[in-house]
Structure 1
Amino acid sequence: MHRRTPSFHPGLMTDMYHPDSAYVSWRTGRNGLTTFDLYTRKAPFGGAYLLTAGLESAIEFAQSFRYSSEELRFLAHIRDYDAAFLDELATLRFTGEILALPEGTIAFPNEPLIRVTAPFREAILLEAGLLQAMALSTLIATKASRIVYAAEQGRVRRVSEFAFRRAQEPMTVARASYIGGCSSTSLLNAAYEYRLPATGTVPHALIELFETEQEAFEAVAEAYNRYTLLLDTYDARRAIHTAIEVAQRSQESMGHTLAAVRLDSGDLVADSKYIREQLRNAELDSVRILASGDLDEWKIQDLLQQGAEIDSFGVGSALGHGAGSVERSIEGGSLGTVYKEAWYVDDAGTEFPKMKIAGMKSTWPGKKEVYRHPHWEEDVIQLSHEPRPDNYLRLLRPVMRGGVVIPGSLPPLSEIRELAQQNLAHLPARYRELTAEQPYPVRFSKGLQTLRKQTAQALGTEIVF
């Protein structure tokens, strides 16, 4: 059965209620300049921070957003929109302004990752695409940074991303994982597209292809100058002795070197200790021990705390899904990003702060900036017209103006990764821990608090801070 590859239709990358909302806006003549904040209310995985990623995809989406004649016919078929509204959609392009945290920036809950200002219909139609682009990449980049942190307890241990076969969006996962600190990907398409290091070992099926494990190991050793052997197809402790014999012969006869051995199951702590001892006895101290098999940051941390002799890790499912932990009752799989209206200017130029009243989910009105203390003592969210705190760093940067990307605002992936690793290195240690004992201090300015209180009162309600 032939499977047709879905085509990309930017104008249809919305939820149904977005064109419906735009239609009501059109019918009532309300299309003033509107500011939306994209943010999340809590950090994922029980941690304190987010590592932002996905801005490049978000901006590409904003640039490409438009309706083709085919898409407009589809909209007319599923909804009885006025023809004049569809005529407007035919010419609609994003003409607004976007400020954002650069990819690789550390962020915290409630801080705008993106601030969009545009005519209401443009801004509302971009909502879902911007949320999707930012949420998944930021989730995966944060997950990768946590896994790499867990692996580097005591010394540097590389983490390879092995998520392709189970990833929700494999290319996005590979890119975001690299930003988060993974050293390589197993997905060749991602390695080609993003110029990433590609790594891999061999599957159990290749070992099983041969009559004996020794024959399989010899075939691998003969094929490559530097090679890795998979030990746990049958019995890892027996296999390491076979691997050592093959390694010594291939080194002597061909100059081929056993670079690493991999464990994918079993008792990783006890088996890795046994394997390390055998390698040392054989004077093969340079051979690395790799581990894989349903690993995540908590399992890696536990393995190393128990003394596992592991030099690097391959992580698949946990990265591919941005998974949490059922055992620890930690949610994962998605990042609860939201896109909330904060400011509106009508055709007469009158400005209106906008907010939602919903208990702990109540929003903050006003056009905002985010500033960071140079020594990471706090972040401040404040109104854009309030003066910058002395020596604090402005985090939001302009990336689009008048619907056009500002030159230099989308750096190459190598620079994004470097920025991410620098930021992670500067993040105080207590906020890098897998479980946050306390949140990072994010302060709302007095001006912002006053505006929120006044806006709530104007809506006939009170708000508790």
Structure 2
Amino acid sequence: MHRRAPSFHPGLMTDMYHPDSAYVSWRSGGNGLTTFDLYTRTAPFGGAYLLVAGLEAALEFVQAFRYTPEELKFLAHIRDYDAAFLDELAELRFTGEILALPEGSIAFPNEPLIRVTAPFREALLLEAGLLQAIGLSTLIATKASRIVYAAEQGHTRRVAEFAFRRAQEPMTVARASYIGGCASTSLLNAAYEFRLPATGTVPHALIEMFPTEEEAFEAIAAAYNRYTLLLDTYDQRQAIHTAIQVALRSQETLGHTLAAVRLDSGDLVADSIYIREQLDKADLGNVRILASGDLDEWKITELVQAGAAIDSFGVGTTLGYGAGSLEQGIPGGALGAVYKEVWYVDEAGTEYPKMKIAGAKSTWPGKKEIYRHPNWQEDIVQLAHEPRPDSYHRLLRPVMRNGEMIPGSLPPLSEIRELAQENLKKLPPEYRALNVEQPYPVHFSEGLQALRRQAAQLVGRENGLLNGA
């Protein structure tokens, strides 16, 4: 039985409560100009920073957002909306403004990654799609940057992304991992689409197909000018001697070169040291040793600190879904980004700061800007109308105005990766570390703090939360 591939319906890329809420807004007549901030309250993986990614997907989603007749028919089937409301949805397009941190930027908790200003219903309906686009890519890019950082300590070691078979969104993972510093991907579709370097070795099944490991190695060596051999199908210490014999013969008879050997299991420290010694004795010092197998930034750190003779790492599963670590007691799998209303202008032009009062989850009202000290000593979040601090750099950039993309808002992936790597190098070492003692200092301006107090008092009066109300 043929199964049709799922189709993409931008107007339905919302949660159920978004059109429901838009309907209440429509019935009540409230659709004033509204500002939302998208941000996180904490940095992922026990670190200090976020490596921002996903803006391209987010803006493509915004541009594509609309309701087709088929989608409106579906909405009418599952909910008894007024026909005039569905008529409005048929014409709905994003007409607002978006400011965002460019992909490859470094951000910290409580800083807006995206600032959206539009009529209430437009801005609200975009919530889930924006969170998904920014949240997943930023999670994976940050994870990749941490893995690359662990691999490069004291020595230049490349990291290859091997996540396809376990990634929840393989194309997104490959792109974000490249931004984060991975040198290549194993997924050919991603290599084609994003023009990424593609790398891979061979599976155990190919070795097992031959009667002996030597015959398998011979076949691989004969097939390629430069080749990689997988050593741990049976016994990696015996396999390296077979690999050396085959490498020397193929070099002599065919001119083919053994470029690398891969270990996917076993004692990676002891085995890699042994294999390096054997390769060096055979005058094969240029052969790289690649390790893979359920690796993450903490395991790679342990290998490097233990003196493993590993030149590069292949990382799949933990990159594929942005995993945390049970051993380290660190959660992962989601960024935890939120999208909160911070400002509202009603139809009469009256402006209102908006905030949620919920203890540590209380929000910061107002249209904001972020400024960074030139030497990364602090970031300041302040109201948009407050003057820029002397010599500080503005971080948010306009990317959409009047519903139209601003030219240059989506640079090539190669430029995004370059910006990311430059920013990671500038990030002070104490905040680049896998586990941090103190968070990066993010300060809120006096004007923003005063507005928050004002908004809290306003919310308290209107909802009877103040003493004596």
Shorter-normalised TM-score: what interval?
over 0.9
Q: Which residue does 1:320 correspond to in 2?
A: 320
Matched, 1:137 2:137: yes
Q: Which residue does 1:360 correspond to in 2?
A: 360
Unaligned runs of 5+ in 2: none
Q: Which residue does 1:22 correspond to in 2?
A: 22
Q: Which residue does 1:295 correspond to in 2?
A: 295
Q: Which residue does 1:187 correspond to in 2?
A: 187
The residue identity in structure 2 corresponding to 1:393 is H
- Share of identical aligned residues, percent? 82
Deviation at 1:454, TM superposition (A): 1.0
SS of the aligned residue for 2:329 comes to coil
Tell me the TM-score normalized by structure 1: 0.99
Q: Which residue does 1:338 correspond to in 2?
A: 338
Q: Which residue does 1:258 correspond to in 2?
A: 258
Rounded Cα–Cα distance in structure 2 between residues aligned with 1:3 and 1:212 = 42
Rounded Cα–Cα distance in structure 2 between residues aligned with 1:235 and 1:214 = 12
Rounded Cα–Cα distance in structure 1 between residues aligned with 2:43 and 2:3 = 38
The residue identity in structure 2 corresponding to 1:410 is L
The residue identity in structure 2 corresponding to 1:20 is D
Rounded Cα–Cα distance in structure 1 between residues aligned with 2:142 and 2:313 = 17
Deviation at 1:4, TM superposition (A): 1.8
Matched, 1:174 2:177: no
Q: Which residue does 1:351 correspond to in 2?
A: 351
Q: Which residue does 2:452 correspond to in 1?
A: 452
Deviation at 1:366, TM superposition (A): 0.3
Deviation at 1:459, TM superposition (A): 1.7
What does 1:68-107 align with in structure 2 at a 5 Å threshold? Answer: 68-107=68-107
SS of the aligned residue for 1:459 comes to helix
Rounded Cα–Cα distance in structure 2 between residues aligned with 1:406 and 1:130 = 18
- Residue by residue over 1:340-381, the C-alpha shift from the partner in whole angstroms, topping out at 9 and shown as x without a partner, is 000000011000000000000000000000000000000000
- Residue by residue over 1:88-117, the C-alpha shift from the partner in whole angstroms, topping out at 9 and shown as x without a partner, is 000000000000000000000000000000
Rounded Cα–Cα distance in structure 2 between residues aligned with 1:61 and 1:458 = 35
Deviation at 1:56, TM superposition (A): 0.3
Rounded Cα–Cα distance in structure 1 between residues aligned with 2:433 and 2:68 = 48
The residue identity in structure 2 corresponding to 1:11 is G
Deviation at 1:36, TM superposition (A): 0.1
- Residue by residue over 1:279-333, the C-alpha shift from the partner in whole angstroms, topping out at 9 and shown as x without a partner, is 0110100000000000000000000100100000000000001000011110000
Rounded Cα–Cα distance in structure 2 between residues aligned with 1:334 and 1:459 = 31
Deviation at 1:2, TM superposition (A): 2.5
Deviation at 1:3, TM superposition (A): 2.5
Rounded Cα–Cα distance in structure 1 between residues aligned with 2:436 and 2:164 = 30
Tell me the TM-score normalized by structure 2: 0.98
Rounded Cα–Cα distance in structure 2 between residues aligned with 1:149 and 1:5 = 38
Unaligned runs of 5+ in 1: none
Rounded Cα–Cα distance in structure 2 between residues aligned with 1:219 and 1:2 = 38
Q: Which residue does 1:10 correspond to in 2?
A: 10
Rounded Cα–Cα distance in structure 2 between residues aligned with 1:416 and 1:14 = 28
What does 1:40-439 align with in structure 2 at a 5 Å threshold? Answer: 40-439=40-439
SS of the aligned residue for 1:329 comes to coil
Rounded Cα–Cα distance in structure 2 between residues aligned with 1:62 and 1:120 = 15
Rounded Cα–Cα distance in structure 1 between residues aligned with 2:439 and 2:126 = 31
Rounded Cα–Cα distance in structure 2 between residues aligned with 1:387 and 1:322 = 38
Number of matched pairs: 462
